[in-house]
Amino acid sequence: MKFTEGYWIASERANPIYASDAYAVEAIDNGMRVVAPGKKIHHRGDTLNQPTITIEFTSVAHNVVHVRVYHYEAYAHLDPRFEREEKPDEVMVTITDEEAVMVAGDVTVRVDREAWGYQFEADGKVITSCGFRNLAYMQYDRQLSTMKPQDNYLAANYQPYMVNELSLQPGECVYGLGERFSAFVKNGQSVDTWNEDGGTSSQIAYKSIPFYMTNKGYGIFVDHSDNVSFEVASEKVEYVGFSVPGEEIRYDFIYGPTPKEVLYGYTALTGRPALPPAWSFGLWLSTSFTTNYDEETTSSFIDGMAERDIPVSVFHFDCFWMKEFQWCDFEWDERVFPDVPGMLKRYKEKGLRIDLWINPYIAQGTDFFREGVKNGYFLQRQDGRGPKQVDMWQTGMALVDFTNPDASQWYRNKLKTLLDMGVDCFKTDFGERIPIDVTYYDGSNPKAMHNYYTYLYNKCVFELLEEERGDHEAVLFARSATAGCQKFPVHWGGDCSANYPSMAETLRGGLSFALSGFSFWSHDISGFEHTATPDVYKRWVAFGMLSTHSRLHGSTSYRVPWLFDDEANDVVRFFTKLKCRLMPYIFAEAIDATMTGVSVMRPMILEFPEDMASNYLDMQYMLGGRVLVAPIFNEKGKADYYLPKGKWTHMLSDDVYEGGRYYTDLYDYFSLPLFVRENSIIPFGSNEEQPDYAYEEDIELHIYSLEDGQIASCKIPNVEGEIVGEVRAMIKDECVVVEVDADIHIKNVKCHNMTIHNIDLKEK
């Protein structure tokens, strides 16, 4: 939100009070407190009729400093708070007349008491700072007040906002802020973290996260569930400004210094992702949205994929598994599915997991709705006239109030009946269209609940799945998110269109999402809206199967490959089986993500922060730490991509490329830029028919560009989500020595881009 008109002039609507003097400073538990009047105090008389802004700096975790800034101390915001896990560093505070200094871990906070301002320092340098007119309390749209006996006597009638601005260095790039489909580097953008159903082709986001990080080694998490408005080098091009309504603003400065360490710190604070089950990494096949389908149709899809030797792991029933006008009463439409238990049993016997579409909106006219009304389980109208109902999406629908424990349990109990039938997981759709003219059971601020609602919704469903299915078996397919929702994977990219620009914006959104603390992500292969050409379909399949999770889903048409062309069958088969064989590598990276918060699909800046070219790369990514993927975004099959320094071996062709430069190549539909970096080991599994199998058995090790004096290694997981051992390779006496931990069985070893082919396999 912009409060100025140019650098010097404040908007006439703003009425700012700027922090201008570090007048009083004291040490507090784990930190220090600064009282900053709105002007420089020269004598005691200056303190009269003078508002102040109070700033508290406290250590909350290693290299994480929490900043709380407030005007009125006792103001009740009533906003839900993100769940946090705090483990403070030891703090040292030094206060003099010239400055106040707090040291916590590797971070120093330095407050200038002579010329107002504060800065964060690490490794002997200033990381970012806040100074002249950078910290303010805004009395927005203030109306006239008077001391005469009138209605506006001493009336401070305005909208309060707190705003903070932090400096940017030359060449500093800002990333994150959720799954945003605008430019990958956020400099120059105005961003409101307000979830909405806007598709992938707008600045609106399904997953708004008030967290950004930069290429200068730190991140900022604005700890508010309400709408946080960011001005990213936009209102003031030398700063990132962020503002929230109310009398207080809270944020965390998270020091890395590497991008991975920033994500490690952020997710340690807000939560690490659960590990999705291994079977969820395979191909998901959907009925699509508004298509006509029944058991005969769904069986034809499942059997058709099997006949074409295309492995399917999960079958998804979208909305119309329920009757029209009855979403979501969670009752199967018996007109098209007359034998649900039998059908699910038959599908289970084919090795499929079952996923159902749900949302938290309950249409009127159903027994489930009437039960919710009777018990007060929905969001209520503010005028006391019953539940809030709208006709947008479903007729007369009401929304489950997840702040009511009884309502949450009621919702869970209904879902449990579906799990008892044999359903394995849920697509938790929507969660963005949350009205603000409502009353919550726990009295929460409805504006602040607009984004936070999705956290309670997805947490409710995910915890049910954990309880019913056990550890490492719970998985969602969620569309909306806020900070902390990374704990409930997986998320998908929403409603994209069936064309190359939309495919590119989808990837940009996924890369921004990865730099917002989320590790597992998917998208609708070939686009949700409209129907792709065979060309787009086949190119998107390669991208989709080289994402952590992979789903064929659309709106008005089916997405089975034979409806596009014959070659599409072969392309889907090829990349699905390739992913199954790569599962020992991918699943090990997934396990690592649950411990570090580092995403499996990684923007290049995350893996190569020292390479300046990586700052802006948004049409390629790393799949884990060793494999580079560059999807193709045109009908000519032309790939433009960048390889960082080092030797890179194409996984499919074995061609060797020197890094540190851009390339342009042509690829058919069975390939794309898919490179392995030097000194890498990629374990290929023995099963290409399913994603979940004994990864530690009959492994084919591929060793790439191993250099003398280097040790390459890879971890080997089992399907239960445990690392069972490690494989290491090195060159000794012109021989490749491969050391293998116990419980790992190596079937074959292949060396790529190496002149040495003698192999000594040592199993411990």
Tell me the residue type at 397.
M
Query: What is the spatial distance between Cα 159 and Cα 142, in angstroms, rounded to a whole number?
Result: 7
Task: Look up the CATH number of domain 13-74+89-139.
Answer: 2.60.40.1760
Question: Helix, strand or coil for residue 548?
Answer: coil
Query: What is the spatial distance between Cα 168 and Cα 379, in angstroms, rounded to a whole number?
Result: 42
Burial class (CB in 10 A: 0-12, 13-18, 19+), 124: exposed
HEC string for 363-406: CCCCHHHHHHHHHCCECEECCCCCECCECCCCCCEEEECCCCHH
Q: Residues of CATH 2.60.40.1180 domain(s) within the chain?
A: 603-674, 678-764
Q: Taking the model in full, what pTM does it have?
A: 0.97
Q: Quickly count: other Cβ atoms within 10 Å of residue 568's Cβ.
A: 22
- Bridge-based pairing of strands 218-222 and 248-255 is antiparallel
Q: How far apart are the first and last CA of the chain?
A: 61
Alpha helices in 470-565 (DSSP H): 500-514, 534-545
Task: Pull the structure tokens for residue 469.
Answer: 């299915």
Task: With CA atoms as reference, report the closest residue to 594 among 517, 504, 679.
Answer: 517
Q: Which CATH number fits domain 678-764: 2.60.40.1180, 2.40.128.20, 3.90.1170.50, 2.60.40.10?
A: 2.60.40.1180
Query: What is the spatial distance between Cα 430 and Cα 480, in angstroms, rounded to a whole number?
Result: 6
Buried b / exposed e along 10-37 (16+ C-beta atoms within 10 A):
beeebbbbbbbbbbebeeeebbbbbebb
For 603-674, which CATH class?
mainly beta
Farthest CA pair distance, the chain = 97
Structure confidence at residue 554 (pLDDT) = 97
Tell me the residue type at 421.
M
Distances (CA, A) of 610 to 43, 87, 606: 51, 30, 10
In this structure, what is the dihedral angle of CA atoms 678, 681, 686, 692, given to the nearest 10 degrees? -100
- What residues form DSSP beta bridges with 527? none
| 141: annotated active-site residue | no
Task: With CA atoms as reference, report the closest residue to 58 among 25, 83, 90, 85.
Answer: 90
Residues of the chain with pLDDT under 50: none
Give me the count of residues in the chain. 764
Query: What is the spatial distance between Cα 689 and Cα 599, in angstroms, rounded to a whole number?
Result: 26
Structure confidence at residue 152 (pLDDT) = 83
Query: What is the spatial distance between Cα 650 and Cα 675, in angstroms, rounded to a whole number?
Result: 4
Structure confidence at residue 140 (pLDDT) = 96
In this structure, what is the dihedral angle of CA atoms 287, 288, 292, 295, given to the nearest 10 degrees? 10
- Bridge-based pairing of strands 52-61 and 31-37 is antiparallel
Query: What is the spatial distance between Cα 456 and Cα 528, in angstroms, rounded to a whole number?
Result: 27
Buried b / exposed e along 157-193 (16+ C-beta atoms within 10 A):
ebebbbbbbbbbeeebbbbbbbbbbbebbbbebebbb
Q: Which of 424, 429, 529, 535 is catalytic?
A: 429
Q: Residues of CATH 2.60.40.1760 domain(s) within the chain?
A: 13-74+89-139
Query: What is the spatial distance between Cα 297 and Cα 343, in angstroms, rounded to a whole number?
Result: 12
Structure confidence at residue 757 (pLDDT) = 64
- What residues form DSSP beta bridges with 751? 703
| 495: annotated active-site residue | yes
| 429: annotated active-site residue | yes
Q: Which of 401, 495, 589, 696 is catalytic?
A: 495
CATH T-level topology, domain 278-358+404-438+447-599? TIM Barrel (3.20.20)
Q: What are phi and psi of 84, to 5 degrees?
A: -135, 150
Query: What is the spatial distance between Cα 65 and Cα 88, in angstroms, rounded to a whole number?
Result: 9
Q: Which stretches does DSSP call E strand in 592-733?
A: 601-602, 621-623, 627-629, 638-643, 647-650, 656-658, 661-666, 674-677, 680-684, 699-704, 712-717, 723-732
Burial class (CB in 10 A: 0-12, 13-18, 19+), 74: exposed
DSSP labels, 137-191: EEEETPPP-BSSSSTTBT---SEEEEEEEEE--TT--EEEEES--S-SS-TTEEE
Task: Pull the structure tokens for residue 575.
Answer: 């990349």
Please answer whether residues 33 and 26 qualify as being in contact, where contact means their C-beta atoms are separated by less than 8 angstroms.
Answer: yes
Q: What are phi and psi of 278, to 5 degrees?
A: -60, -35
Task: With CA atoms as reference, report the closest residue to 231 among 77, 78, 447, 7.
Answer: 7
DSSP 481: B
Distances (CA, A) of 592 to 23, 259, 715: 47, 16, 10
Q: What are phi and psi of 735, to 5 degrees?
A: -135, 140
Q: What are phi and psi of 64, to 5 degrees?
A: -125, 120
Distances (CA, A) of 210 to 222, 312, 518: 5, 36, 13
Q: Which of 432, 524, 607, 618 is catalytic?
A: 432
Task: With CA atoms as reference, report the closest residue to 630 among 513, 519, 638.
Answer: 638
